[in-house]
Amino acid sequence: LYSAAFVLIVQVGVPRPQRSITHLTLIAGFASTLFWPLTSALHAHLTWREVYLLFAALNLGLCLPIHAWLMRLSRRHATVTPHERGSAPDEAGMPLDARRGRAAFLLMLAGFATEGFVLSAILIHMVPLTAALGLGTAGLFVSTLFGPAQVASRLINMLFGGRLQQTHLAVIAASLLTAGLCALLLTTPWLPGAFVFVFLFGLGSGLTSIVGGTLPLELFGREGYGARLGWASAARQFTSAFAPFALAFMMARTSVANSLWVLVVVAASGVIAFLAIALLRRRGGPAAFAIGGSAEEAT
């Protein structure tokens, strides 16, 4: 649901959409923290079917009216002209020329696709993977650090990342995923090393959720944002769909360590893709990438 929510934030003309996206991911990061124990508490008194029916009722009675109101708000805002709406100072819509624009877009898709592959492959196999590396039942305990690390990364970014370019944040997120995998491979089966892995991987995952909404906005602006975000989400979900099968196949044919080194290479390619985008921005010059400037002003 993140992608649809990000588009809504941009469509209703929120003055600082990147900051609002960060706030949204921070709040949503507490979903599992709150609802996993709540679900366990409910299951102590209700059957699993009754728990599901209760959650369905919450979606219909609480979420649906809120979304219906937001839909009307979005439609009303669609009638406002861009001139009336104004341009947010942190929007960044950078008017790349056609060649660089296509290159940046394809690199962005490649970066998101590699991140989706790595995250999906690891998260699906997190517990059996850590057990196979010699951590035993401690792998389940270690895995619980992932959620808090996600929330921590979003909180840190909200407090201290206001002036950080989203291209640089994308590089940091991809680098944290790569560093986490390297930490696991280089320290296994040392338990503190596994904690470092989950913490770094959780930090990278938390920032990836933010970058998925803010990077297209910074690179290309509000116009066509929904379509570009749709392409980015499709690229991520396509690789996420077959990543668990691919990792399982590699682990069955080779060793767990060799399979993880393959993931390190994939994750590092994401770092390279986002670094290439940063290089394209720098070569474009300050006039082409002026934050808040219109295409006509930049040209």
Question: pTM for this one?
Answer: 0.81
**Domain containing residue 77:** 2-85
- Give the residue from 53, 85, 117 where a domain finishes: 85
Query: pLDDT at position 117, please?
Result: 97
CA distance 110 to 275: 12
CA distance 192 to 293: 48
Closest CA to 216 of 113, 99, 81, 91: 91
Residue 293: pLDDT over 70: no
Convert the pLDDT of each residue in 44-89 to its tens digit.
999 999 999 999 999 999 999 999 998 888 777 765 545 444 444 4
Residue 91 lies in a domain: no
Residue 135: pLDDT over 70: yes
CA distance 81 to 70: 19
Query: pLDDT at position 101, please?
Result: 85
Query: pLDDT at position 173, please?
Result: 96
Are residue 185 and residue 266 in the same domain, yes or no?
Answer: yes
How many helices and strands (H and E) does the chain possess? 15, 0
Query: pLDDT at position 295, please?
Result: 36
Are residue 14 and residue 79 in the same domain, yes or no?
Answer: yes
Are residue 81 and residue 134 in the same domain, yes or no?
Answer: no
Query: pLDDT at position 95, please?
Result: 59
Are residue 66 and residue 134 in the same domain, yes or no?
Answer: no
- Cα dihedral sign for 95, 101, 104, 109? positive
Q: What is the percent of the chain with per-residue pLDDT over 90, rounded to a whole number?
A: 47
Query: pLDDT at position 96, please?
Result: 64
- Give the residue from 85, 117, 149 where a domain finishes: 85
- Give the residue from 31, 56, 85 where a domain finishes: 85
Return the minimum-mean-pLDDT range out of 85-89, 163-167, 265-269: 85-89
Residue 115 lies in a domain: yes
